Every structure is written in structure tokens, then in C-alpha cells.
Amino acid sequence: MANSLREVGLTQLDQPVIEKNINGHKTYLIYTETIDGLYTPVGLELPEGDGPFPVVLLASGNGGEGMKWVEEYTKSRRYTIDRLLEQGYACGWIRYRTEVELGYNQGGKLIHDKRQGREMFNRSPLEYEDEISIIEAIKQYKEIDADKVGLLGMSHAGEMILKLASEYHGICAAVASEPAAHEFLSLNPDNSVTINPETQLRNIESMQMQSTEKVRSRVDMDIALERIKPITIPLFIMGRDQDELQGVFRLSYELLKEQNKNVIWKSYNHDLHGYVYPLLGDDGHYKVNDVQMQAIDDVLAFFKKYFEK
């Protein structure tokens, strides 16, 4: 029998849950178990009614910071949440372990084995694998329609959508907004990328990849297409006209389209990286303009198309 967020207590759930009022909104703070038995946080909200509801899980950036981050974004980045709730969708922020530099490229497929009767892996799980664990956990609640799970990921979280879609098919549709998919595409950066002398990790903050042609010439096409080939879910790739990684965003779409994937593209003229998540102003009102409202309308229309099939 499925668990109910609304009807059972903390000790009766497979995933520890705390019901909390955050700025007047009932939020279920859920600790979801990941592949290796550690826990990662989710802040889920439900619309009015009994459900089961379609659900859209929101993600942004490269991970870390735990439940504190989820609570803060539930307070200060809820414009998009409210729009989703108005449509009758459950939704909320997810968080996952911190991004590992080139962990996806260098780590290979996660292999499960046993040693002395216990699990053993060839590498640690990565952040996109945490997202898969979250999806599977959220599906267990009776308020959630397990066949109508959508994802909205921005920047690195947009790339995570491509990574998980390449090997997991348990979602209905996904929006990758400004997906920083340079690792997924196996991009060989130019000299705008430097090495941090203190950590020996790459500094990609100044990477200049506006041109789709430039990005196309620098990706390992065999690897990129091998990763794209298994993707089956409908995708909406959102660009940003003046972004330094616009060529990465656009090529992600073009390669998907060239492989006959179910994908659409639209780019928006906005100065905020993360425009799909409007910011809360000091006056307590969201700073949102017509471009952002159109972008969010487009996201809602995309999910509606697949949730109402």
C-alpha cells in the first residue's frame, strides 16, 4: 500500500518527513534515501484536492548545502512553485550531492557488487543518480501520479536531466533550462578555461561558448551521440540569447533533434541566468517581467501537453 504524506506520521514512512509551515505554505520536507543509503532533501508541496497529482521537481545548480538550501529556496524562489500549484501540480525543490568535476566522464557506469555480504560500488554515486533516487521515492506517495513526473532543471541541473534521461526512463517529460551540458557532450574547452592552481580543478566560469558551430567542432561527437541515443522522454531545451554558453544550450537541442528525439527549443532575451526562477525582491515582491512570464507559460504548456495525455 502506498504511503500518504497527509495521513501518516514520521515513523510510519519509508522516507523521514517533517511537515513544516514555510511562509504560510505547508511543505513536506522529505529525506529521501539514495543508492548508497545516505539521504538527500526534498521540499514537496501539494495543491488542493486529494490527488493523485502530476508532480514537477525543481532543481538548480550543482548541489550541496542540504535541507537548509531547500528551505531557503522554498521561501525565496517560489514564484514558479506557485504557478505550478495553480495548475494542480505537486511540486517542490530537490537537492543532491555536490557536483564532482568530470565525475561523469571519468567514473563510467555505476557498477554494483558485493563484498563480505555488503554492497560495493566501483565509484561513488553522482548527483544525477541522487535525482533518480528522489524520483523513485516520490512516486511511492499516493498523492503523486507515478506516471506523470516532470523535471525542471536549470544550468547544471539542466545537464543532469540529459544525464539521467540517457539511462533512466521513469519520467513523463522534462525541461532543461540553460543546460550547462559541456560534460554530457564531452566538450573539449578552449583556452578560456583555466586550472585553479590551488585545487588543480578547472575554472570554467569564463568559458566562452556562444557559437553553436564552435561547440560542435569541439565535442566528441561519438561520445555525445552514444549518450543521446537512449533518450526517449520529451524534452524542452531553453536557451538564453546572450549567455556565454548559448552554443552549448543550442547544440544540445540540435543533436537531440538530429537523432529524431522528441525535443523543442526556445531561447529568451533576459539578463538573469536562471530567469525561469524569478527572484524575490527586498520589498517582498517577485521581480518578474514579460519575458519570464512567457517562459514560465511555455513551461506550463509543455507539461500540460504530456500530463493531460
Entry pTM: 0.94
State mean pLDDT over 227-235.
98
What are all long-range contacts of 287-291, with beta carbons under 8 Å and residues at least 24 apart?
A: 288/79
pLDDT at 11: 47
Residue 213, φ and ψ in degrees, nearest 5:
-65, -40
pLDDT at 18: 87
Of 59, 55, 67, give the one whose Cα is nearest residue 140: 55
| C-alpha closest to that of 25 among 40, 5, 4, 46 | 46
Topology (CATH level 3) of domain 10-307 = Rossmann fold (3.40.50)
Query: Band of the pLDDT at 13, cuts 50, 70, 90?
Result: low
For range 161-167, the mean pLDDT: 98
Region label for 28, one of left (φ > 0), alpha (ψ between -120 and 50) or beta (otherwise): beta
- List pLDDT tens digits, range 108-124: 999 999 999 899 999 99
Neighbours of 39 (CB within 10 A): 16
Residue written as cell 510510519? Answer: 12
pLDDT for 33 beyond 70: yes
